[in-house]
Each structure stands twice: as structure tokens, then as C-alpha cells.
Structure 1
């Protein structure tokens, strides 16, 4: 993305895009662009749909209930889809965890209902909104897929069926403190997934099931117990820097 565009508003719009296309905006996008961001006719913004790259757009018509954008040039080509799977037990700071996973390159985000999850009822549309907001703010062109919630037992039982040869990494807070670098370096080039537990951690039998699975690689995050949302960011950073796309 050209740095000359870094101050422009960015909108995710799920419509086909090409130079010369005119996009009439819906009520929510119009309100955000005109009333919240105070943009009007002759101003520019950047739009993307997660499939065809990002485009510089000109606001060519405004009104209280109508905004039309004209796509005048492609500002960035579409980036390759991210393959990293990120599974998490829902926590109170749900928006933060999804936003950070999006920023850090997760391609698939899936809630996993473990024993100690406090709030298993989730709004899928709201989860997608959190991911889109993060993509808009951080110039991410691939908005991750939000997979339906899955129970912990079903996740492990159907892992090979659903994920093939993907390796599942989990942060084992009960393990002795050690560096995760060697374990992660051995996974370079493999398809990877990361599972983060809930506030309170995994139940003993859940941890035992993870350690017994041949597709699971446990790692330590050091001598301190981290909050679930902190552990997610730390583990994603480690994975992307050692075995991912950093």
C-alpha cells in the first residue's frame, strides 16, 4: 500500500472491484464515511474486498442517504491468502483477541469451547466485524474466515479429517519453562495451527488429550503465567517470526 494513502479511510466492501467501477454504499458505510469520518464529494478513500486487492476511490456523490465511490486506480495487489489457523477459547476481551489474530496473519479464526469457557454463546456476525475492523485499520487485505464454534473434543477428534497434515501448537502453561524456538523452527514449511486456552487454562484431561495427540506440538511461553489474550499475541509473534511469514 503506498504510504501516501496511509491517512485515508479504508473500507471493506464485499463487492466486485476494478478500475472504473462505481460502488453505491449501503447505509452503514455511508454513515461511517460521511457522518463519522466527515468525508464528502472530492475526497478519497481506499476500499478492498479481500479478493482483488485495494483500490483508491473517489467520492463522486454525497447526500444524507447516498454515497457513490468511483474506483480510480489499484493501490495494492491482492496478497496471498493466509493459511494459519487460530483457535481460541472465548474470553471477555474477545474483540482484542480477534483483532490481534487478524493483524498477526491468521487466515482462519475458530472459537473452541473448552471446559472453563465462561461465555460459550457467541455472535458470529460480531466476530466477523472485529476482524474487518482490524483489517481496515492495519492495511490487511485478507480478512480471516470466522469458522463456527466447535467443542474441544470434536476439534481433536476430527482434526485430521478437517485439517489434514496441519500441526497444532498449544501453549502448555504446566510445562517446565523453556525456549520454544527449537520446537517451532522444526515446523518451518508446515501448515500450522495455534490453540489458546481460556481464562483459567485447560482442564487436566484436556491437557492430557492434547499431549497424547500425535499432531500436537506443545510449547512453553516462559516462566510467567500470561493472560489468554497476552499469550495469543506472544505465541502468534513467535510462530510468525520463527516458522511463519515474517
Structure 2
């Protein structure tokens, strides 16, 4: 078994993974192995999910969009990703997809799109974003796939946000504080930043802490990367 072997996410089923067990592959994964990676019966692969961990396996059958693998041994036990929840204003398609990919690699546990006064788009292809998150998890070797929620109004989300759950908000041109190790979530605004009304709402919320990302004005997707990195450093992740 080599780290260069294909690594595939196979959702947990009613039966837990076990040595010698043959499990079917999702159609998309079977197509990927046979047509993209040019693998064949007998080739080594790795399969994983958040409940069963990561397993060494061998392709048992592969035909068009159908296939199965035989599990050999568990190489990594299940372990949840130690990360934060990311609240972000949806961006244009390519930028949103980049946020999902980078966020998955940086340990985001849940993506929560929030609609602000200056949000550029209100439409998201959640199915495609889930595929992107899955591909990123396969590549970065995390064991779970982050959840992606449907968009909600920022006002509604803040109204329901617990006061004891720290939410760090990146506010442009405003002083911020150093993130604490128990940081639970990060909020990144839209291109153009939050409106003044939203800034006042954020500053008045007991759970919200301003987070400075430096003296320069960053693109929204860059701010996501910078903010997640700062929280990860604070938490030792």
C-alpha cells in the first residue's frame, strides 16, 4: 500500500467496515477509478469515511460505473477533524468553489453560507460544492467531509447564535483582537465588506469578536484562507 494509491471516500453504510468485506463503490468513484485513473481489478486503493476510518483495499470488480473493493486492513482509526465552522457570504461560482476547497483542506467542519446586504449571489449548487469538498478531503487525507448548509440570512443566523460560542468576524479597516484557542467559528463577509448596519449588529453581539487580518484589504477568498490560518495557529491545530 502506497500513499500514491487512489484514495476514495465511501459513505458509511449500515454495516461497519471489516477485514475481508466486499463493499460496492458509488458510481462516481467506480467511473473515476476505471476511466480517469486507469485502474483495474487487483489494483490497490484506500477507502475512508468518518465512521470507519481509512482502510487499505483491493479492487475486486470494475465495469463502467459499477465496482467493488475488498477491505484488507484498517490503517487509520476514525478521528474527527479539529477545525472551525466557516460562515461566509457566497461569491461568484469559481471563488465560492475555491473557498470550499481551501476550507476543506484547512479543517473547516461546517460551511454555512450567509446572505448579507452586499452578497453577490443567492444561488449555490450544493451538490457540486459537496463533490468539491469530497475531492479536497480525498487529496488532503482528512477522514471526514465537511457539511455544507443551504444559504441563510446573516441576520437570522446571528439572532440564533449562542452567546457562549465564539464567532470571529473579519472586519476591514477596524482593529481586531487575537483569536483564542477555543475559537469556534469564523465569519468572512462579501466583496465590498459588511454594511455599516451589519458592522454595528456584529459589534453588539456578545459572541462576536473582531479579527484583524492585517493592514491590507484582502479578496474575500483570500480572507478565508488568512482567517482560518490565524484560528488554526491560535488553537494549535
- How high is the TM-score relative to the length of structure 2? 0.92
What CA distance in whole angstroms lies between the structure 2 residues aligned with 1:212 and 1:64? 57
For each residue in 1:4-55, what CA deviation from the matched residue of structure 2 results, as whole angstroms up to 9, or x when unmatched? Answer: 6321111111134222221122322111110011000111111112211001
Distance change (3 Å), C-alpha of 1:8 and 1:172: same
Residue 172 (structure 1) aligns with: 171
Residue 143 (structure 1) aligns with: 145
Distance change (3 Å), C-alpha of 1:134 and 1:156: same
CA contact (8 A) 2:8 2:47 kept: yes
Confirm whether residue 7 of structure 1 aligns to residue 4 of structure 2. Answer: yes
Q: 2:187 aligns with which of 169, 181, 195?
A: 195
SS in 1 for 2:45: strand
CA contact (8 A) 1:82 1:142 kept: no
Confirm whether residue 80 of structure 1 aligns to residue 72 of structure 2. Answer: no
**How many Å apart are 1:157 and its aligned residue?**
0.7
SS in 2 for 1:86: strand
Distance change (3 Å), C-alpha of 1:203 and 1:144: same
**How many Å apart are 1:166 and its aligned residue?**
1.1
**How many Å apart are 1:222 and its aligned residue?**
1.1
What CA distance in whole angstroms lies between the structure 1 residues aligned with 2:133 and 2:205? 30
In the TM superposition, structure 1's runs of 4+ consecutive aligned residues that sit over 6 Å from their partners are none
What CA distance in whole angstroms lies between the structure 2 residues aligned with 1:158 and 1:105? 24
For each residue in 1:43-84, what CA deviation from the matched residue of structure 2 results, as whole angstroms up to 9, or x when unmatched? Answer: 111111221100111012233353220010111111134451
Q: What RMSD, in angstroms, separates the aligned Cα atoms of the two structures? A: 1.6
Gaps (5+ residues) in structure 1?
Answer: none
Residue 129 (structure 1) aligns with: 131
